[in-house]
Structure 1
Amino acid sequence: MPHFTIEYSANLDARVDFDRLCRSVHETIMQTGLFELGAVRVRTIRSEHYAVADLLPENGFIDMSFRIGRGRSEDEKKRTGEAIFATVTRELEDLFATPHFALTLEIREIDPQLSWKKNAIHPRLRNADTR
């Protein structure tokens, strides 16, 4: 962990560079110094079907979910969320010029007793760090 998911309405495809957005979020996550590189995942999920607010076809949304393992203080989590939200808000500045866009972010801690992982990337990156 951490896993960062950007769920978005399909009507944003032509208006957002999602590759750039993912890379910007990844960079912001790494800048916090709280997460190991081999664990970071940033991805998008396109929602083809949705109903937003008053159902105008131009209404769009991005809902961001950041799932992290335990071990960070409330202040660290809050600072991380604020940094990510600021990065995304800057990236999407043009969308806020219309009254048809909603952006949300939620951070959730994962119970380690209910989470299973196997990661072949960690050893490669950890070994590279020791060279």
Structure 2
Amino acid sequence: MPHCIVEYSAPLAQQIAIDNLVELVHRGAIESELFEPASIKSRAYSAEHYRVGEAEGADFIHITLKIMPGRTGEQKQHLMRCVDRQIASLCASVSSITMEVLDIEREHYFKRLND
């Protein structure tokens, strides 16, 4: 835990290296020191069809950080600041960057590790 999920407008892949973006989000989660690095999972999905406000051609990045419950609001803010610090220079030209931390309900989460 956590699951770091990056959604982005598809044309951004021509402006920034999405694999680098995923790496930076992952590093931000590690930098927070809230999780064991081996438990962090990061991935990205492009949105082919999207709109951002009323601006024609505006792009976006939305990062969802799904974590197990028990972290304080301050810790969640710290996590978002760490991720933002990592991605800031790479994403300086992106029209809209949003982020949220969501608690996963333990009773609705399943995990199996195979050796």
Contact 2:9–2:60 (8 Å) recurs in 1: yes
Cα distance in 2, alignment partners of residues 113 and 37 from structure 1: 24
Question: What value does the CA root-mean-square deviation take over the aligned residues?
Answer: 1.6
Q: Deviations over 1:38-60 (max 9, x none)?
A: 3211110111111222251x211
Once the two structures are superposed, the pairs formed by residues 49-60 of structure 1 within 5 Å of their partners are: 49-54=49-54, 56=56, 58-60=57-59
| Aligned match of 2:29 | 29
Residue of structure 1 in register with 2:111 after alignment:
117
List 4+ stretches of structure 1 deviating above 4 A. none
Identity of aligned residues (%): 26
- Aligned AA (2:45): I
Distance in 1 of aligned mates of 2:18 and 2:112: 27
Structure ID, larger Rg: 1
TM-score (norm. length: structure 2): 0.90
| Residue 103 (str. 1) matches residue 97 (str. 2) | yes
Amino acid at match of 1:86: R
Aligned pairs, how many? 115
1:55/1:32 CA distance change after superposition, 3 Å: closer
- Structure 2 portions without partners, runs of 5+: none
